Amino acid sequence: MARIAGIDLPKNKNIEIALTYIHGIGRSASRKVLQMAQVDLAKKTDVLTDAEVAKIREAIDRSNLKIEGDLRREVSTNIKRLMDLGTYRGLRHRRSLPVRGQRTHTNARTRKGPRRQVGGKRK
C-alpha cells in the first residue's frame, strides 16, 4: 500500500485517481505530478514499486503544491481573517449560512441544520 503525504492511497485504483484522495490534489494536478515523476497514469496503486512512490513524493515536493495540513491551515486562517475583519463573507461563516450567494428561504438545510419549528406542534 502506497502512503504519500500521510494518506494511505486506496488499493486497486489507477494512480491518477488515487492521488486525488490527497487534500489539495485534483485530477489535473495529479496528471502533472505523474508526468513529472514519469509514472504511467493507468498504473494501479498496488503495482507501484517503492522507487515510483518515492518519485511521486519528490514530484509533489517539487511542484510547490500546498497539500493536506498546510492547505487546511491556510484555508482556516483565511476564514478566520474574514471573520475578524467583519466582512459579509465572514459574517456568513460565523452564522453557518451559505457564503456564496445561494438562496436560504428554502433549501440550505445542510448549512442551517435540521428545521427548528416555530409555533405549536403540527399534526
Distance CA 88, CA 94 (A): 10
Long-range contacts of 86-91, Cβ-Cβ distance < 8 Å, separation of 24 or more? none
Distance CA 51, CA 25 (A): 21
pLDDT tens digits for range 32-78: 999 999 999 889 998 988 999 999 999 999 988 898 889 999 999 99
pLDDT tens digits for range 4-35: 888 888 988 999 999 999 999 999 999 999 99
